[in-house]
Amino acid sequence: MEEISELVELSESMRQVSALLADEDIDESKRTSTFLNVVGLGNVGAGKSAVLNTLIGHPILPTGQNGATRAPINIELNRDTSLTSNSIFLHINNKSQQVSASSLLHSLQDRLSKVSSGTKRPDPIYLKLRTSTAPPFNLIDLPGLDQRIVNDKIISEYLEHNDAILLVVVPAAQAPEISSSRALRVAKEYDSESTRTVGVITKIDQAATEPKSLAAVQALLLNQGPPKTSDIPWVALIGQSVSIASAHSHSAAPDTSLETAWRAETETLKSILTGAPQTKLGRIALVDSLAAQIRNRMKLRLPTLLTGLQGKSQIVQEELVKLGGQMVSTSEGTRALGLELCREFEEKFLQHLTGGEGNGWKVVASFEGNFPNRIKQLPIDRHFDINNVKRIVLEADGYQPYLISPEKGLRSLIKGVLELAKEPSRLCVDEVHRVLVDLVSAAANATPGLGRYPPFKREIVAIASSALESFKNESKKMVVALVDMERAFVPPQHFIRLVQRRMERQRREDELKNRSSKKALDAEQSILNRATSPQMGQHSGGNLKSMKEKSGQQDKDTQEVSSLKVAGPDGEITAGYLFKKSDKGWTKRWFVLNEKSGKLGYTKKQEERHFRGTITLEECNIDEISDEDEAPAKSSKDKKSNGLDSGKASNLIFKITSKVPYKTIMKAQSTVLLKAESMVDKAEWINKLRKVAQAKGGQAIGEPSFPMRQSLSDGSLDTMARKPADPEEELRWMSQEVRGYVEAVLNSLGANVPKAVVLCQVEKAKEDMLNQLYSSISAVSSAKIEELLQEDQNVKRRRERAQKQSSLLSKLTRQLSVHDNRAAATSNWSDRGSAAGTIYKFA
């Protein structure tokens, strides 16, 4: 019985392991172990109930030839060595009472008699008994398999998906036809490898006079029976009634009657089955065979359970690490814990902000997406509408016409438009603030220590959010100050340049008028001179030749045509050679103008396909260069370096500049000087470039530019004081100049506002967050910190449960490992013994 007690302990340990692996509470789990279940299988009259009575040691189960068992009977046996052999205690509703075997027998007979043969599914009967004679098995007595009430559903309920021992009971008289036994077929169906099957041959005394039956019984006991039976351990019995009768005939002592009966049964079997192994005869042999099969079944399950325990132990240890240890109870330890949690939170916050764990990328996305889009969507067009500009200028200058420049009104216009940039800047600050607040919540959730103390976690989030709020307010002040800085100071040279260009335009108009009148007078004088000059004589021959040469040159100039090439469906592509001024001098390049895209590009050769540089004309001004603007005269060698006469080349030059003085138009150049090959080419280039620049929103200005600090003498004050010929056109031109300045300032704000936001919010959060947390927590009283560091009850329960599971896992792992090692050692010893026996046999 000691070996069976060990099996009971191992079965309970394996039940606990199964509950742990299923994440169930061991004390509350309803999971049961089926290793100790013994299910009796056999036909009506085979002696199943008598065999189970033999295991119990008392005639409790009804027996008979006509199917006494009409419903499944489950008997849970508990062994108590302090009881006498005749004592039986019945447990009902957590109460126990002593009963006799005969009273239990009569009670079961009464209940079974009420079960009619036509019942499809009779209710099972459950008994829980405590005795000193029975092994601690759970015996299940099923009705005969050849009864109508037994169907496949009832059989599978007790045999399938468990580890119950299948007790196949066959009468000795049916041993020769064992292959056709239904009980054997059912056992093979649910246990094909016979790892949990035990065979019992009953009623040996009734077949004592039948040599054929005895020979079949001995063959089964020697494992020499049919192939279906060779892997099943077989045991021979007479029957409990015969054993009891034999015991009473030899002894009347109540305490020894059962042992005497069992020994008498064994002796009887030895006398009948003389050639059978004595270790397979009687009740003790049956108990040993059952224990051996239970042990083998457990040995099959142990490796899987041990593997599961290892994985579960790792999970539980990780859970304990995640939950952390119990909090220190002292006030100093509590405060130190609070500061340590602040540091852990700050590390997680920085990881989320600077790394890829959080949504820190949204800060950059705001700078590159929403903020620039809001700047671009400002209603600048509405503010720079000519009617609005006129209204602002009138309101600023009063009802008197302006004399020099509408500077006051334009300044007001600039301030009003730049005021619009404040709202996108504030929205950018708010958007970054929301991202940082989300990062605070994400970092708090990702900090394992804070998860244990929800009140303290809420306090940390509140402190961090308050710090971010103060950073946001500072950032808003900074970005608004950036906008106000641009509004407060508009560079005066901008308006000086406006006045200067206006004066130059007026002077240019006057010069053109004077030139046209002068050319008319010159032409008239030339006609008069030609009409009055002598036509003959040697002296006049040279003059006549000179006149012919001049006349031929004039005809040549008159017949000169443009060398530019035009392509495209609508003639929108114009190409030709121009000389481009660089640090090394004039270089000849192939220029292509696309009127649809508004861009001018150039290549080194006509055959090249990729432009070396492009100019967006909508951002540019096209200016002619007058003779006096040309650089100082070079040497005669430099003048002829490019194959063009210097005097002629000065009239072929024009320039392209940005309408915003400090902006570049191509590469690093803010001014591009170009020189045509002929006056016709120059005129056509300038006309087309101006046309494109005006169509795309730029300005094509044909007057030469002067340095900002050039002297304005020789009547320029009179020009300044004179009212423009077309004031509205002049105002439109000036508003476009102002718009270029405003757009440049907005671009500058688009680059500087994100820098201010990063400085005042992101960098502040990186550098000052931990200090804010430390100072705030340090200012809190110890009692308040202890209140905040109240651990979550769920976390506490989880830790206690994990600690309990860890302890049980360690204990169960040791127990199962001991049994697994013992089983392995027994298996190795059996293998060596079998090998030695084989060698001895063949020797």
Percent of the chain exceeding pLDDT 70 equals 75
Instruction: State residue 824's pLDDT score.
Output: 61
Sequence-distant (6+) residues with CB within 8 A of 835 are none
Q: Which of 382-391, 508-517, 577-586, 694-703 has the lowest mean pLDDT?
A: 694-703
Task: Report DSSP state, residue 91.
Answer: E
Q: Indicate the average pLDDT of the chain.
A: 77
Are the beta carbons of 164 and 39 closer than 8 angstroms?
A: yes
Please state, in angstroms and as integers, the Cα–Cα distance from residue 642 to each residue in 31, 333, 633, 677, 680, following that order.
104, 88, 15, 11, 19
Are the beta carbons of 310 and 816 closer than 8 angstroms?
A: no
* Predicted TM-score of the model (pTM): 0.50
Burial 164-184 (b: 16+ CB within 10 A, else e): bbbbbbbbbbbbbebeebebb
Confidence of residue 770 (pLDDT cuts 50, 70, 90): confident
Instruction: State residue 41's pLDDT score.
Output: 92
Q: Which of 46-50, 238-242, 448-452, 637-641 has the lowest mean pLDDT?
A: 637-641
Q: Do the strands 585-594 and 599-603 form a parallel or antiparallel pair, or are they unpaired?
A: antiparallel
User: Which neighbouring-strand residues pair with 91?
Assistant: 96
What integer is the mean pLDDT of 379-396?
75
For residue range 574-615, list pLDDT tens digits in order. 999 999 998 888 999 999 999 888 889 999 888 887 888 899
Instruction: Name all contacts of 589-592 with Cβ < 8 Å and 24+ positions apart.
Output: 591/674
Confidence of residue 247 (pLDDT cuts 50, 70, 90): very low
Candidates 177, 173, 166, 287; CA nearest to 231 is: 166
Return the residue matching tokens 């090249």.
Answer: 608
Q: Do the strands 585-594 and 37-41 form a parallel or antiparallel pair, or are they unpaired?
A: unpaired
What integer is the mean pLDDT of 347-376?
76
Q: Which of 142-151, 240-249, 611-620 has the lowest mean pLDDT?
A: 240-249
Q: Which of 230-234, 308-312, 546-550 has the lowest mean pLDDT?
A: 546-550
Are the beta carbons of 733 and 504 closer than 8 angstroms?
A: no
Helix then strand then coil, % of the chain, to nearest 5: 60, 10, 30
Q: Which CATH superfamily groups domain 333-489+753-788?
A: Dynamin, middle domain (1.20.120.1240)
Element (H, E) at 197: strand 197-202
Element (H, E) at 289: helix 283-323
Alpha carbons 602 and 619: distance in angstroms, whole number: 18
What amino acid occupies position 674?
L
Count the neighbouring beta carbons within 10 Å of the beta carbon of residue 708: 10
Q: Who has greater pLDDT, 622 or 405?
A: 622
Do 35-281 and 333-489+753-788 agree at the fold level? no
Instruction: Name all contacts of 587-596 with Cβ < 8 Å and 24+ positions apart.
Output: 588/642, 591/674, 593/685, 593/688, 593/689, 593/692, 595/688, 595/691, 595/692, 595/695, 596/572
In sign, the C-alpha dihedral spanning 746, 749, 754, 760 is negative
- Say whether 457 sits in a helix, a strand or coil: helix
Alpha carbons 353 and 435: distance in angstroms, whole number: 9
**pLDDT exceeds 50 at position 829:** no
Q: Who has greater pLDDT, 676 or 359?
A: 676
Instruction: State residue 696's pLDDT score.
Output: 62
Q: Do the strands 599-603 and 197-202 form a parallel or antiparallel pair, or are they unpaired?
A: unpaired
Q: Who has greater pLDDT, 215 or 630?
A: 215
What amino acid occupies position 419?
E
Burial 553-587 (b: 16+ CB within 10 A, else e): eeeeeeeeebebeeeeeeeeebbbebbbbeeeebe
For residue range 51-60, list pLDDT tens digits in order. 998 888 888 8
Alpha carbons 118 and 113: distance in angstroms, whole number: 13
Which tokens in the block code for residue 40? 């009796």
For residue range 784-814, list pLDDT tens digits in order. 877 777 766 777 777 777 777 788 778 778 8
Confidence of residue 455 (pLDDT cuts 50, 70, 90): confident
**pLDDT exceeds 80 at position 392:** no
Please state, in angstroms and as integers, the Cα–Cα distance from residue 421 to each residue in 177, 374, 384, 425, 520, following that order.
104, 9, 15, 6, 56
Compute φ and ψ for 126, nearest 5 degrees: -115, 135
Alpha carbons 686 and 624: distance in angstroms, whole number: 8
- Say whether 211 sits in a helix, a strand or coil: helix
Residue 488 exposure: Cα atoms within 13 Å on the Cβ side: 6
Candidates 640, 538, 660; CA nearest to 585 is: 640
Return the residue matching tokens 């994100």.
Answer: 754
Percent of the chain exceeding pLDDT 90 equals 12
Q: Which of 172-181, 295-304, 350-359 has the highest mean pLDDT?
A: 172-181
Alpha carbons 476 and 469: distance in angstroms, whole number: 11
**pLDDT exceeds 50 at position 817:** yes
What amino acid occupies position 287?
V
**pLDDT exceeds 50 at position 403:** no
Sequence-distant (6+) residues with CB within 8 A of 307 are none
Alpha carbons 358 and 438: distance in angstroms, whole number: 9
Q: Which CATH superfamily groups domain 35-281?
A: P-loop containing nucleotide triphosphate hydrolases (3.40.50.300)
Q: Do the strands 37-41 and 138-141 form a parallel or antiparallel pair, or are they unpaired?
A: parallel
Alpha carbons 49 and 326: distance in angstroms, whole number: 58
Q: Can you give the residue ranges of every domain in the chain?
A: 35-281, 333-489+753-788
Are the beta carbons of 466 and 440 closer than 8 angstroms?
A: no
Instruction: State residue 395's pLDDT score.
Output: 66
Instruction: State residue 400's pLDDT score.
Output: 46
Q: Who has greater pLDDT, 398 or 678?
A: 678
**pLDDT exceeds 60 at position 254:** no
Confidence of residue 675 (pLDDT cuts 50, 70, 90): very high
What integer is the mean pLDDT of 442-461?
84
Count the neighbouring beta carbons within 10 Å of the beta carbon of residue 607: 7
